[in-house]
Amino acid sequence: MSEDAQDVVLVVEDEPAIRMILRDYLAGEGYHVLVAEDGEEAFAILASKPHLDLMVTDFRLPGGISGVEIAEPAVKLRPDLKVIFISGYPAEILESGSPIARRAPILAKPFDLDTLHEQIQALLR
């Protein structure tokens, strides 16, 4: 369980089954979880929710907006926001050349949920 049950995590994932697994797992670990299936939904949440601690985002998303393209403005608006990228194509994240891609953890799909939780705990300490 999260040390602070008030930690808010935004999960941006287009695959419904993965989105549901992540939401249920993280909620079970004590996080308040918000979900978005694409960049448009993610930006709406980022604009409307004053408090977010961490974003877990897929790289390849529908609608032409990548996870990196969501994370960059989000971190500019919220410098304390932590980001974890998840992707079946992790090299693409690094190849994006984004500064956030060089410092945020990248988990290659499939990944172990406990590994994700360890990354989240390390970032939110």
Q: Give this prediction's pTM.
A: 0.93
Per-residue pLDDT at 80: 94
The answer to whether 14 touches 39, Cβ cutoff 8 Å, is no
The answer to whether 27 touches 61, Cβ cutoff 8 Å, is no
Give the type of residue at 35: V
The residue behind tokens 């960059």 is 72
Give the type of residue at 51: H
Residue 60 Ramachandran class (φ > 0 left, ψ -120 to 50 alpha, else beta): beta
Tell me: pLDDT of 14 over 70.
Answer: yes
Mean predicted confidence (pLDDT) in 36-64: 94
What is the DSSP secondary structure assignment for residue 37, as one 8-state letter?
A: S
> What does the mean pLDDT of the chain come to?
93
110 preceded by a cis bond (ω within 30 of 0): yes
Q: How far is CA 36 from the centre of its chain?
A: 10
Give tens-digit pLDDT for 55-75: 999 999 999 899 999 999 999
What is the DSSP secondary structure assignment for residue 56, as one 8-state letter?
A: E
Mean predicted confidence (pLDDT) in 25-37: 96
